[in-house]
Structure 1
Amino acid sequence: MTNQKTILGHPRGLFLLFSTELWERFSYYAMRAILVLYLTDTTINGGLGWSTKDALDLYGIYTGLVYVTPIIGGWIADNYLGQRKSVIIGGVLMAIGQFSLALPNGSFGIDVHSSFYFGLSLLILGNGLFKPNVSTMVGDLYEEGDNRRDGAFTIFYMGINLGALLAGIVAGSVSDSFGWNAGFLTAGIGMVLSIILQLTLGKAWLGNVGVEPAAKRDLRTKAKTKAPLTAQEIDRLKVIMIMGLFVVIFWAGFEQAGGLMNIYTQDYTNRMIGSFEVPSAWFQSLNPFFIMLLAPLLAAIWVKLGPKEPTSPVKFAFGLFFLAVGFLFMVGAVLEQGGDMTVKTSMFWLVGAYLFHTLGELCLSPIGLSLVTKLAPLRLASLLMGAWFGFNAIANYVAGLIGSHVGELGAMPIFGGIAVAAAISGLILLLLSNKLVHWMHGAEAKATPVQQAAETQVA
């Protein structure tokens, strides 16, 4: 907007935000890839020696809070700090948090548990300021109606997944070679790189984007009105809330990736390729790898279908069905063990599970974000996007709660139960789809097939 210099036809600020988000996502997913493994590892190996239940309980609480604080962080940015300051402050808090996790026991006279909880707290607070505001600035680079916006979010999304792809491989390799502290240190370095990019290039490449708090800008440009919601708007809000319930079910299953599936990879999967043992954390990179591979393919399918393209509720149902298929692969892994927990299962069960979970994500996550922007009244758009992240928060907490019962229930009831719950939820959503589309009052019809295909790649 204020900066007209372009790269590949887009404002160059897009590529700064792409790189900023890439390194922040690298930092987050590097830490996520090793968190549960670190908690459950024996103290003699540098871990904390926690039980699987305690580790997965904490994982659920942590990832849940990560999705709650953006509601607060978005409000602070909109009303007081502006997006740019919020991103920098949030980035600094997260970098300090990662370095706190990396501190060896007794550093500066601080007990390892104290530095661990302090680090997690800073990561949660920092993420709240960072997460909602980088994406907002991407949108602010373009005037309303600019047809480059969908392509811009596609480019931005690839940065997210490139960071996530690198994270599991790098953090896993470093942790295996030099210990858990080195893995967290790597995550901290990634966050520092993100901050440096913003501090050095932000003013020149972004211009005034994200400087002024949105609420102040809105007061300057529009009359302050408080019109009541119309019947049509209420119907659309009902769609968002109902779809949000299915989002909870999907992510509660999907987020087993960083928890229970991560532990299953470590303890019960044959990770040998010849004489090389694949680090457990590397499997966390399968999801972003499959996203980068499959997102363009799925986008092309939506375009090819044209008028026959499924509605958002039907795509959500597909996402739940794909999740169910993914967990059938995990059921297959457990069956291969035959009740003998000393048996190591094939890693191809995990590859299949992550493949179908990724297909599910592509049918649900980007479609959901797009749906909120289509259905939310403009004056409630930020609040409702925050509420949408709130559904993710609930799901992440539930994911940890479910996984934490593996000790008493076993893996089979959990993997099988999630598969059944996802399949039934998908069927229910198919039955509700026509009514939900009716309540949208034509909102989806406003998007062309090409625009919706681009949205498929924006998570």
Structure 2
Amino acid sequence: MNNKVWGNPKGVFLVSGVELWERFSYYGMLGLLVLFLTANANTGGLQWSTETALKLMGIYSGFIFAAPAIGGWIANNYWGERKCIFYGGLLVTVGHLLLGGPVYFPYLIDLLSDEPISNLLLSSNISYETLFADKETLIQVSSLSLDQVTQYSWLVVGYHLKLWSFLIGLGLIVMGTGLIKPAVSSIINHFYAPGSKSRDSGFAFFMSSIYLGAFSANFVAGTLGEKLGWHAGFSAAALGMVVGITAYIIWQKKYLGDIGIEPQNPSKSRNEQPIKLSLEHKKRLALVVLMGVFTVIYAVAFYQKGGMLNLYTLNKVNRVVWGFEIPATWFLSISTGIFIVSAPYLVKLVAHKFPKIDAIYKLALGLICIGIAYSLLALGDVIGGDNEKVSILWIVLTYILFGLGDVLVWPAQISAAAALAPKHLTSFVVGAWYLTIGIGSWLTGYVGALSTEYSHLSLFVGISTACLFSATVLMLCYGSLSKLSGKVSL
């Protein structure tokens, strides 16, 4: 019985499918996050300031990509990859359901209190930036007065349930994602022998699954959230994760066999001396860290698409085509669509026609793509002027370059991290590598928040300069960096 599809084991496609639906849920929510946080309370939003919303998005995204370091350690030492995927999927599902709490819980309070709490919260001018609000605070930040509700304490309860159900939901998604991501990447790595030429192909399909989830999420969850209600988009994201974890439960034994059941470095057997890292291993890990520094810069630029660029598209870009106003979240799918279409073919083309272009060079080329993209945004902003909306062409070209940059960067970087890691620390190293994206995503919020103090043009020029300069440094240091990989093919 043939256990391969397109030259890759079927188990690769199973766990990639789990990642697809996890990313569907994540990106479906992420595309709506800043829009929901900054939306007026009378539309169901939390009415946060742009600066606070962008900073929360950065903190949240940072934790999302930092959590896999802990998840990888748990997989390596306690649960194994398989359990991490299962429990992570459950946490993500519950987390997304709680994101709909701002709608569901006020209606529950209506039933318990016999007061129109949900309508009062919608009709008021309440901003939900205060984490712990009392009656006096709500009176100050809203247009309500005490005589508008018999039991004002119920309004305080409704306020906190609406805010904290959402924040707790974000926290559960962080924990679940932290368990899933390193486990999936590690399992894929187990299917390939060291130095296998098929490794990049397997990781390219893995990344294509991520982007297929992201692509469809913006059209499904994003559209539902913008057009029908925020809770509809968040609930659609939860449904996606249910599909993914159900498929995993049904087919894991058939296609994964014994892979990932037992931890690779179980803590219970620590009576033995810990395995010491050789000088070769230390050099390889140093290369992972050094490439990670440049990945941070790439991530800061790339993940603006979920925050500052998403708001820029919503407010500054002329999105009307043939009388139809395109939802802002749809534009986020351009880069993902480019990745899905081009990744498997471009990876194979580079491997066969340009074998000397390794993960280090690909990272530099990816930074160049992003740098040029922000240069185009700057040009479009200059042409558009202060009082006119920017042509849709500029944001489309920008996201096309984002997609090409992703093809060059993410598959090669994840594959390199897994290949350079000592075998007994694969899950942990892959998880720790995600810290680079986490740091970049965290900084994204703070860099994006600068748009409230400086012009978009200044930010576009600054980010473009940083990316192009970093690419130049990376290429100049290529010889020294490549020596650290030893005999490992990147």
Same structural fold, with TM-score higher than 0.5 when normalized by the shorter chain? yes
Distance 1:391 1:381, change over 3 A: same
Q: What is the identity, as a one-letter code, of the residue corresponding to 1:140? A: H
1:426 to 450, 455, 471: 471
Q: How does 1:206-225 map to 2 (within 5 A)?
A: 206-216=256-266
Partner of 1:126: 176
Q: After the TM superposition, which of the residue ranges 358-367 and 225-234 deviates more from structure 2? A: 225-234
Deviation at 1:443, TM superposition (A): 3.1
In structure 2, distance between residues paired with 1:216 and 1:380 = 11
Partner of 2:115: none
In structure 1, distance between residues paired with 2:307 and 2:339 = 20
Q: After the TM superposition, which of the residue ranges 362-371 and 426-435 deviates more from structure 2? A: 362-371
Distance 1:218 1:442, change over 3 A: farther
2:361 to 314, 321, 331: 314
2:379 to 332, 347, 361: 332
In structure 1, distance between residues paired with 2:348 and 2:196 = 22
Q: After the TM superposition, which of the residue ranges 435-444 and 42-51 deviates more from structure 2? A: 435-444
Partner of 1:262: 310
Distance 1:32 1:248, change over 3 A: same
Deviation at 1:159, TM superposition (A): 1.9
Q: How does 1:80-229 map to 2 (within 5 A)?
A: 80-103=78-101, 104=103, 106-109=106-109, 111-141=161-191, 149-216=199-266, 226=274, 228-229=276-277
Partner of 1:457: none
Q: What is the identity, as a one-letter code, of the residue corresponding to 1:324? A: G
In structure 1, distance between residues paired with 2:16 and 2:37 = 32
Partner of 1:247: 295
In structure 2, distance between residues paired with 1:228 and 1:128 = 26
**Alignment partner of 1:295 is 2:340:** no
**Alignment partner of 1:367 is 2:365:** no
* Alpha-carbon contact 2:304-2:444 (below 8 Å) kept: yes
Deviation at 1:91, TM superposition (A): 1.0
Q: After the TM superposition, which of the residue ranges 18-27 and 141-150 deviates more from structure 2? A: 141-150
Distance 1:202 1:424, change over 3 A: same
Partner of 1:34: 32
Distance 1:319 1:149, change over 3 A: closer
Distance 1:26 1:333, change over 3 A: same
In structure 1, distance between residues paired with 2:390 and 2:439 = 31
Distance 1:239 1:150, change over 3 A: closer
Deviation at 1:150, TM superposition (A): 4.3
1:53 to 51, 54, 72: 51
Deviation at 1:372, TM superposition (A): 2.2
Deviation at 1:143, TM superposition (A): 6.0
Deviation at 1:395, TM superposition (A): 0.5
**Alignment partner of 1:435 is 2:480:** yes
**Alignment partner of 1:278 is 2:276:** no
In structure 1, distance between residues paired with 2:405 and 2:309 = 17
Deviations 1:431-451 (A, max 9, x none): 21111123333433xx6xxxx
Partner of 2:435: 390
In structure 1, distance between residues paired with 2:286 and 2:194 = 26
Q: After the TM superposition, which of the residue ranges 55-64 and 118-127 deviates more from structure 2? A: 118-127
Partner of 1:72: 70
* Alpha-carbon contact 2:89-2:180 (below 8 Å) kept: yes
Deviations 1:109-165 (A, max 9, x none): 452101111111111111111111122223334566776554433333322221111
Three-state SS of the structure 1 residue aligned to 2:486 is coil
- Taking structure 2 as the reference length, the TM-score comes to 0.83
Larger Rg: 2
**Alignment partner of 1:412 is 2:452:** no
Deviation at 1:231, TM superposition (A): 3.8
Q: What is the identity, as a one-letter code, of the residue corresponding to 2:293? A: L
In structure 2, distance between residues paired with 1:300 and 1:198 = 28
Q: After the TM superposition, which of the residue ranges 61-70 and 147-156 deviates more from structure 2? A: 147-156
Q: How many residues align?
A: 438
Q: After the TM superposition, which of the residue ranges 197-206 and 27-36 deviates more from structure 2? A: 197-206
Q: After the TM superposition, which of the residue ranges 326-335 and 255-264 deviates more from structure 2? A: 326-335
Deviation at 1:197, TM superposition (A): 1.3
Deviation at 1:217, TM superposition (A): 11
Deviations 1:11-52 (A, max 9, x none): 443333232222111111101111111111111222111111
Deviation at 1:225, TM superposition (A): 5.4
* Alpha-carbon contact 1:95-1:191 (below 8 Å) kept: yes
Distance 1:42 1:315, change over 3 A: same
In structure 2, distance between residues paired with 1:216 and 1:61 = 32
Deviation at 1:272, TM superposition (A): 1.0
* Alpha-carbon contact 2:373-2:399 (below 8 Å) kept: yes
In structure 1, distance between residues paired with 2:414 and 2:444 = 21
Three-state SS of the structure 2 residue aligned to 1:48 is coil
Deviation at 1:9, TM superposition (A): 5.7
Partner of 2:18: 20
Deviation at 1:320, TM superposition (A): 1.3
In structure 1, distance between residues paired with 2:190 and 2:362 = 28
Instruction: Specify every segment of 5 or more residues in structure 1 that has no aligned partner in the other structure, as ranges.
Output: 448-459
Distance 1:235 1:138, change over 3 A: closer
RMSD, aligned α-carbons = 2.6
Partner of 1:453: none
Deviations 1:317-341 (A, max 9, x none): 211111110101211232133122x
Distance 1:322 1:37, change over 3 A: same
* Alpha-carbon contact 2:363-2:409 (below 8 Å) kept: yes
Partner of 1:323: 370
Q: What is the identity, as a one-letter code, of the residue corresponding to 2:15? A: L
In structure 2, distance between residues paired with 1:229 and 1:137 = 22
* Alpha-carbon contact 1:171-1:281 (below 8 Å) kept: no
Deviation at 1:312, TM superposition (A): 3.3
In structure 2, distance between residues paired with 1:160 and 1:93 = 19
Distance 1:430 1:15, change over 3 A: closer
Distance 1:234 1:243, change over 3 A: same
Q: Tell me the percent identity.
A: 35
* Alpha-carbon contact 2:38-2:47 (below 8 Å) kept: yes
Deviations 1:367-406 (A, max 9, x none): 2223223433334443332221111111001111100111
In structure 2, distance between residues paired with 1:235 and 1:82 = 27
Distance 1:320 1:91, change over 3 A: same
